[in-house]
Chains A and B, each alone.
Chain A
Amino acid sequence: MTSGTLSAQITDYANRADPYPLYAELRKQPVRREDDGTFLVSTYYEVRNLANDPRLSNDTSNRPPGYGRPGQPPPESGLPPSFIFTDPPVHDRLRETITRPFGPPHSPRFLDGLRGELAKVVTELLDAFEGRDEVDIVEDFAYPLPVTAICKVLGVPREDEPRFHGWADALASGVDPQAGGGSGQEKAQRARQDLGAYLTDLIETKRRHPGPGILSALAPEMTPADLEATAVLLLVAGHETTVNAITNTTLTLLRHPDILDRFLKDPDLAVPLIEEVLRYESPVQFVPWTTALDDIDVAGTTIPKGSPVWLMLAAANRDPKRFKNPDRFDPDRKDNEHLGMYTGIHYCFGAPLARIELHLAVPELFRRVKFSRLLQDPPPYRANAVLRGPRHLPVAIEGLTA
């Protein structure tokens, strides 16, 4: 990958705070071949069609030698990939099994039943703002909530939560193409091993003494290796995406005082507003782990068999051919069929959990906290280009309502 390529610029940390001009540049050529043979697809209809195209695989072992294979554990590890890095029928079987205790058709009320506990977490986190005039939305609010949520979903004991923080962070950088090789990858491997050891113990405990959460329900249904891979995926995804969605919502509202004013007067605006943030600042910016199983003609370009394909969700969500005034943050937008949670069979597994958290967190945050201003704009971002979001969001606050 030469430094001049757009993919290199997108993953370059210098462009993390505002990648949108690069995405606009990218959209000029809806299907763009990079020097290394990777294809970047950036326009809405093309991204959507490819995400639903059975000729596109999520199993990166379909790539020819020489390409990165994100999501595929090294063969010597003997570990299976987690379900998002598999294709049907394996994918469908795994996802359906995991959905059994998590959602419909068998457990439609599982997440709904967590609302009360999660609302309490929100309250506690906000109570802790009392007496402060400066908070970090990430550390003090947007990060701890999803950590607790995913631990409750899995059934991880609360006291073990802090240990997950570091592991999840290290693992998330593993899906970042920029981290390919270097120390990030090494750190990810070590974190994966430590987490794996912890989970093996936990799963064994759950098998013998079932408790709340889906790990107990799944322990008899899946091989320990598959269950471990699933737990790691859900943990990382649960940590690293919802935090961005909550933080991005806060940041975007503070950057748009007119809409914030409306929202304060009309809390019902939360529903369309949250969907608009998912379009405007997509928590997963792109999906760099798909591969063409055959030659695919898209928008006049042929993607040859075996090519790595990056589906640029955040660019597609700003495509003027699909969204009027796409760079405008507009919660009144009709017909907001965004790709913020992806589409097709790999549609975000945790989307309903993320939405439940957002619907609990965002209205309550703005109801109770009187914001003064952003202390740093743009805020410092995490290294990750895929799971893009602020590392910190320091804000000045003027008070807290009960």
Chain B
Amino acid sequence: MRLVVDLNRCQGFAQCVFLAPDVFSLHGEEALLFSPRFDEAQQDRVEKAAAACPVQAILVDYSDEPTKRVEPHVG
């Protein structure tokens, strides 16, 4: 499961840090750091964090399907 925060939108309200402190953290008073990948144990908290974001800046993808790829030809 993966996530990304649109840090242009993010204004450092830090609601996600309160609700999922293992996935999100503040660096200083305002800069947000996040773990782009999280496991099932965190799913519930991440979901709450994403819903609570006052500027709706958190995009979460609960699926984890591998990319269907075409191997390049050799030679």
A residues contacting B by CB (< 8 A) are 96, 103-105, 108-109, 111-112, 268, 271-272, 274-275, 335-337, 341, 343, 347, 351-352, 355-356, 359
Contacts and interface: CB of A to CB of B under 8 A. Distances in A.
Interface residues of B, number: 19
Contacts of A352: 15, 18-19, 52
Interface of B: 13-15, 17-19, 21, 25-29, 47-48, 51-52, 54-56
Nearest to A274: B51
A352 B14 CA distance: 9
A103 B14 contact: yes
A105 B27 contact: yes
A104 B26 contact: yes
User: Which 5 A-B residue pairings sit nearest by Cβ, starting from the closest?
Assistant: A352-B18, A105-B26, A104-B26, A104-B17, A108-B21
Contact of A104 (B14, B48, B51, B52): B14
B21 A104 contact: yes
Nearest to B21: A108
A264 to B, nearest CB: 18
A109 B21 contact: yes
Nearest to A105: B26
A181 B17 CA distance: 42
Contacts of A347: 13, 54
Contacts of B26: 104-105, 108
30 contacts: A103-B17, A104-B14, A104-B17, A104-B18, A104-B26, A105-B25, A105-B26, A105-B27, A105-B28, A108-B17, A108-B18, A108-B21, A109-B21, A112-B18, A268-B47, A271-B47, A271-B48, A272-B51, A274-B51, A336-B56, A337-B55, A337-B56, A343-B55, A347-B13, A352-B15, A352-B19, A352-B52, A355-B52, A356-B19, A359-B48
